[in-house]
Amino acid sequence: MTPQRSRGRGHGRPRPPGPKRENVPELHPVEEPPDIATFAEWPLGADIQRAIAAMDIVKPTPIQALAIGPVLSGRDVIAKAQTGTGKTLAFGAPMMAKIDAARATVLGLVMCPTRELAQQVHGVLATLGFPRGVRVAMCVGGDPLHPQIAELQAGAQVVVGTPGRILDLYQQRFLSFPWTEFVVLDEADKMFEIGFIDDIKQILSYTPEERQTLLFSATFPNEVLKLAREATRNPLEVATSAGTVPVDTVEQCFMTIDDDDRPM
């Protein structure tokens, strides 16, 4: 017979207290974008302007209007914007405009949660950097290691990758960040969900304290906001007024399955 659990006050073993939830101040973002009609209003340089024009992009999206100017001015930025709003160009255009193509060291590091997102970001940054001679290497798990090492050894100034592979290459001494000027965390909430937060903190500890840190996320769970505040210095907080509602360019679907087909 299963013994009954005592419900009397003061009986039984007391439950140990759970971990104390740290009170992190809420995000207080600027939501009203400045009235920017074209990318030509920012001093991005002729090469970057031509690359953006070649993408058939004319008017900046709200997150681009909010973030590009501050990034150009050297500010750390914590940005809240949903998927599909142009976040890559929001950090990529000013970063690629400021990176010195003559230096053969990693000046920009972009961390993404998945291989697929890293590929998309790499494509945009490579397009922006090509006219200026800025090399962009992609370092992600699931792809052969040696071609990625070759890109690094060829003098890539920007690295786009997933935290696990970046950490692996650092530990093997194929990657280092002594002069890194920009660190970008793209879709930080997804990296938290996957379990990359500890890896990210470790990688950040290898980069210079005076770096410029840009953190973009659709949502800000407590742990992500805590990381954002710890990783940045006097950051400007911005957000699109649409919040986290999916944009029209994102197609959503669902599939119904039987209970027997669900993973246990």
CA distance 139 to 149: 8
Contacts (Cβ under 8 Å, ≥6 apart) of 128: 48, 51, 52, 92, 93, 96, 134
Looking at residue 155, its pLDDT comes to 95
Question: Cα separation of 225 and 16, whole Å?
Answer: 27
**Given this model, what pLDDT does residue 264 score?**
45
Q: How confident is the model at residue 108, as a pLDDT?
A: 98
What's residue 178's pLDDT?
Answer: 97
**Which pLDDT belongs to residue 28?**
86
* Segment-wise mean pLDDT, segments of 10 residues, the chain, 264 residues: 39 44 79 94 97 94 97 97 92 98 96 97 97 97 95 97 97 97 96 94 97 96 94 95 49 61 52
- Angle at CA of residue 240, ends 99 and 253, nearest 5°: 100
Residue whose pair of structure tokens reads 């200026």 in the numeric block: 132
Q: What DSSP assignment string belongs to the chain?
A: -PPPPP-STT-SPPPPPPPPPP-PPPP--B-S------GGGS---HHHHHHHHHTT--SPPHHHHHHHHHHHTT--EEEE--TTS-HHHHHHHHHHHHS-TT--S--EEEE-SSHHHHHHHHHHHHHHHGGGT--EEEE-TTS-HHHHHHHHHTT-SEEEE-HHHHHHHHHTTS---TT--EEEEESHHHHHHHT-HHHHHHHHHTS-TT-EEEEEES---HHHHHHHHHH-SSPEEEE-TTTTPPPTT---------GGGS--
The one-letter amino acid code at 254 reads F
pLDDT at res. 25: 81
Query: In terms of pTM, does the model score above 0.85?
Result: no
